């Protein structure tokens, strides 16, 4: 492999990404070098660039939702070999720590976390690997506990979505909320994660799924994926939780918040039936606190958070890829654009408009050749 390959670098917050040639170090012990074939643009990438903007978070290569092929492996790697189809993981699974061994969580013990040391260098500077992955790039080097091997039959330009958005939303309904057959659900926010939550509610057997979004253009896609109703809060002159309570005889059994807005998180909780409703927070933000009144929970509601849909990294990704190949999971419906790496800033602008679900960035073969 040549020492340098094309990457998109975020040199500073709130600025366009820049195509650069970056030196990618060879994999060291327990590491895998992956040729990225397809990556999707996720709102979390935009959050880092435009909202969170941590002072120590730049320069960085963004991207964390992708699929690729193993190019080479470092010493002590036994699970992977060149040519394997894989999905890099922002949530690793070592299968050895207390957390990984527990069925109660998909988290990994803090001491076992990987991805803090970057293998990228550009213009003499170390470039950070966002979320330990950095998939807006031709090649990445990543620890083997943060890689999931997938079925060789899987189309990488589809299953890359399983690396974040699909698992996050689908699992929030199935694994975290534990939606039951015959129940009533509400999903707030119809980006890719919210639409995946709708799909998860349907798979779990919910009889009524109310999709909530400010954009009426998203209603049709939500119904294709299983929504029975669409509600736009702007169409009503009272709070959305009151609207949903009126539609459902007091409140829904389950609600899933997929926006990352603290006011929406509260609305989603208040939309649940006070006696037993379960509300799951999926949308990410660190910018504001949530304010609620204790009776909202004392009455019997449950408020839960969900990271990566409760899926353990390696196991969950492989399971979801199999579900797609078995035609139990929809992915094509989530893709709205196919673009190339040199169009990455255009892709980000489209995502900022809030109209699109998933924009794929495909890597053109002539840019780099697998050896």
Model confidence pLDDT, tens digit, residues 128-153: 988 889 999 999 999 999 999 999 99
Detail the DSSP E strand segments found in 232-355. 254-257, 278-281, 302-305, 335-340
Q: Is there a common fold for 6-163+330-363 and 169-306?
A: no
Q: Are 304 and 281 in contact (CB under 8 A)?
A: yes
Domain 6-163+330-363 is found in CATH 3.40.50.970: no
Extents of the domains making up the chain: 6-163+330-363, 169-306
Calpha distance 329→321 (Å, rounded):
9
Mean pLDDT value across the chain:
91
Out of 157-161, 341-345, 366-370, the most confident range is: 157-161
Measured CA to CA in angstroms, residue 303 lies from 82, 275, 281 at distances of 44, 13, 8
Which pLDDT belongs to residue 370?
24
Q: How confident is the model over 168-194, as pLDDT tens digits?
A: 999 999 999 999 999 999 999 999 999
Half-sphere exposure of 283 (CA within 13 A, CB side): 26
Q: How confident is the model over 223-251, as pLDDT tens digits?
A: 999 999 999 999 999 999 999 999 999 99
Q: Phi, psi at residue 66, to the nearest 5°?
A: -155, 175
Q: Does 2 have pLDDT greater than 50?
A: no
Which pLDDT belongs to residue 14?
87
Tokens linked to 234: 């702007």
Residue 276 CB neighbour total at 10 angstroms: 13
Which pLDDT belongs to residue 241?
98
Q: How confident is the model over 324-366, as pLDDT tens digits?
A: 999 999 999 999 888 888 888 988 888 887 766 666 667 643 2
Helix, strand, or coil here: 318? helix
**Domain range 169-306, its CATH number among 2.30.30.230, 3.40.50.720, 3.30.1600.10, 3.40.50.280:** 3.40.50.720
Detail the DSSP E strand segments found in the chain. 4-9, 18-24, 31-41, 60-61, 65-73, 85-88, 120-122, 125-129, 139-143, 147-149, 184-188, 208-212, 229-231, 254-257, 278-281, 302-305, 335-340, 358-362
Residue 111 CB neighbour total at 10 angstroms: 6
Residues 6+ apart with CB under 8 A from 156: 37, 38, 67, 68, 69, 85
Tell me what percent of the chain is helix, strand and coil, each rounded to the nearest 5.
35, 25, 40
């Amino acid at each position: 492999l040549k020492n340098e390959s094309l990457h998109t670098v975020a040199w500073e917050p709130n600025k366009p990404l820049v195509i650069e040639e970056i030196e990618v170090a060879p994999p060291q012990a327990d590491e895998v070098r992956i040729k990225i074939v397809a990556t999707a643009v996720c709102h979390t990438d935009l959050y880092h660039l435009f909202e969170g903007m941590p002072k120590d978070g730049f320069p960085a290569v963004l991207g964390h939702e992708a699929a690729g092929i193993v190019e080479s492996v470092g010493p002590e790697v036994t699970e992977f070999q060149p040519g394997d189809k894989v999905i890099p993981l922002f949530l690793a699974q070592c299968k050895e720590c207390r957390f990984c061994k527990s069925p109660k969580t998909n988290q990994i013990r803090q001491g076992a976390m990987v991805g803090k040391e970057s293998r990228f260098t550009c213009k003499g500077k170390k470039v950070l690997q966002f979320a330990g992955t950095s998939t807006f790039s031709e090649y990445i080097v990543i620890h083997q506990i943060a890689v999931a091997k997938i079925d060789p039959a899987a189309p990488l330009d589809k299953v890359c979505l399983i690396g974040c958005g699909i698992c996050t939303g689908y699992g929030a309904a199935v694994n975290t909320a534990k939606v039951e057959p015959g129940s009533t659900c509400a999903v707030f926010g119809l980006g890719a994660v919210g639409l995946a939550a709708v799909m998860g509610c349907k798979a779990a057997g919910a009889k009524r799924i109310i999709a909530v979004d400010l954009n009426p253009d998203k209603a049709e896609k939500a119904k294709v994926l299983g929504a029975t109703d669409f509600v736009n809060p702007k169409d009503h002159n009272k709070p959305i939780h009151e609207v949903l309570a009126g539609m459902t005889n007091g409140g829904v059994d389950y609600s899933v918040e997929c926006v990352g807005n603290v006011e929406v998180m509260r609305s989603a909780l208040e939309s649940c039936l006070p006696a037993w409703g379960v509300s799951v927070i999926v949308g990410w933000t660190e910018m504001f606190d949530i304010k609620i009144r204790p009776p909202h929970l004392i009455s019997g509601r449950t408020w839960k958070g969900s990271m990566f849909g409760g899926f353990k990294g390696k196991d969950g990704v492989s399971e979801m890829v199999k579900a797609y190949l078995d035609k139990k999971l929809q992915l094509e419906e989530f893709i709205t654009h196919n673009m190339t790496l040199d169009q990455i800033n255009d892709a980000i602008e489209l995502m900022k408009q809030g109209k699109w679900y998933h924009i794929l960035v495909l890597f053109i073969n002539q840019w780099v050749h697998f050896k």
